[in-house]
Amino acid sequence: QKEVEQDPGPLSVPEGAIVSLNCTYSNSAFQYFMWYRQYSRKGPELLMYTYSSGNKEDGRFTAQVDKSSKYISLFIRDSQPSDSATYLCAMSAGDYKLSFGAGTTVTVRA
Amino acid sequence: DAGVIQSPRHEVTEMGQEVTLRCKPISGHDYLFWYRQTMMRGLELLIYFNNNVPIDDSGMPEDRFSAKMPNASFSTLKIQPSEPRDSAVYFCASSFEGVQETQYFGPGTRLLVL
C-alpha cells in the first residue's frame, strides 16, 4: 500500500463548477500538507500548504486537512479552463522529504 | 529570478550510455532535491542536499545512480550505465532552510533510454 493515495481521475467538469480533490495517507507523522499544480510538460508548482489540521483559503482555492481521518482535500470554486492541470497532493513529516500522491488530472470544459 | 534551471531539457540515449543531468538551484536556497516522475510510480524523491551535503539518498534506485553538488549553484545526477527503465522525467527542486513546504521545481529533463 502506498503512503499517499490519490485517485488519478481523470476528472472533467464544466466551467464554473466546483472541483473537489482529495488524498488519504497512512503515515501519522505527516504534519505538512501541500497541493501542487502541474501543467502538461512543466514542473509542479506549489498551490497551497497547510500545517497540521484545519482549513486554509486562498482566493478560489480551499485546502482542508483532517488528521484524525488522515484525509486532505482541495476545492476549486468557479473553475476556469486555465485550471486544467494535474493536481498533486504532497506530505511531509518535517524532514524535507515530500511524499506525493499519483496526481489527479482535471479538465475544465469551456 | 530565473528559477531552477535544468539541462538538457530532453535527452535520448542508448542503453549502456552514461547520462548526466544538470541543475542550477535558485540563488540563496539551502536545499536541493532530485525527483523522478513516471506514469507507474509518480513523483519520487531520489536524493536531497543541504548546503551542498547529501542528506538522504535512500530514494536512489541503484548504484548506477549518483548525484553530486560541488557548490551551491550546481548539481548533477548521473546514470551509468543507463537502462530503458530509467526513462522518465527528472526534476530538480530547491528551497530555503525552514520553508520545506515551498519547493520550487525546475522544468525537468525528459530522458528516453532506447
pLDDT, residue B17, reads 97
CB B75 within 8 A of CB B92: yes
Is B42–A96 a contact, with Cβ atoms under 8 angstroms apart? no
pLDDT, residue B100, reads 63
Which chain B residue has its CA at the smallest distance from A50's CA? Answer: B101
pLDDT, residue A8, reads 83
pLDDT, residue B96, reads 87
pLDDT, residue A52, reads 84
Residue A85: pLDDT above 80? yes
From chain B, pick out residues whose CB is under 8 angstroms from the CB of A89: none
pLDDT tens-digit map of B33-72? 999 999 989 999 999 999 999 999 999 988 999 999 999 9
The cell numbers describing B98, all together, are: 525552514
From chain B, pick out residues whose CB is under 8 angstroms from the CB of A99: 45
| Residue in B35, B46, B58, B101 to test binding to A, most A beta-carbons within 10 Å | B101
Strands A54-58 and A61-66, by their bridges, are antiparallel
From chain B, pick out residues whose CB is under 8 angstroms from the CB of A94: 100
User: A84 pLDDT band (50/70/90 cuts)?
Assistant: very high
Residue A13: pLDDT above 90? yes
CA distance B31 to B99: 10
From chain B, pick out residues whose CB is under 8 angstroms from the CB of A23: none
For A67-92, what is the mean pLDDT? 96
Exposure string over A82-104, b if 16+ CB within 10 A, otherwise e: ebbbbbbbbbbeeebbbbbbbbb
**What are the residues of chain B with a beta carbon less than 8 Å away from any beta carbon of chain A?**
4, 31, 33, 42-45, 48, 50, 55-56, 91, 93, 95, 100-108
Minimal C-alpha gap between A3 and chain B (Å)? 12
Considering only CB atoms, B56 lies closest to which of A94, A97, A100, namely: A97
User: A92 pLDDT band (50/70/90 cuts)?
Assistant: very high
CB A65 within 8 A of CB A53: yes
Residue A44: pLDDT above 90? yes
Considering only CB atoms, A43 lies closest to which of B44, B45, B91, namely: B91
pLDDT, residue B1, reads 62
pLDDT, residue B72, reads 94
pLDDT, residue A7, reads 86
Collapse the DSSP code of B86 into the 3-class scheme (helix H, G, I; strand E, B; otherwise coil) and give the result.
helix
Torsion sign (Cα): A23, A29, A31, A32 = negative
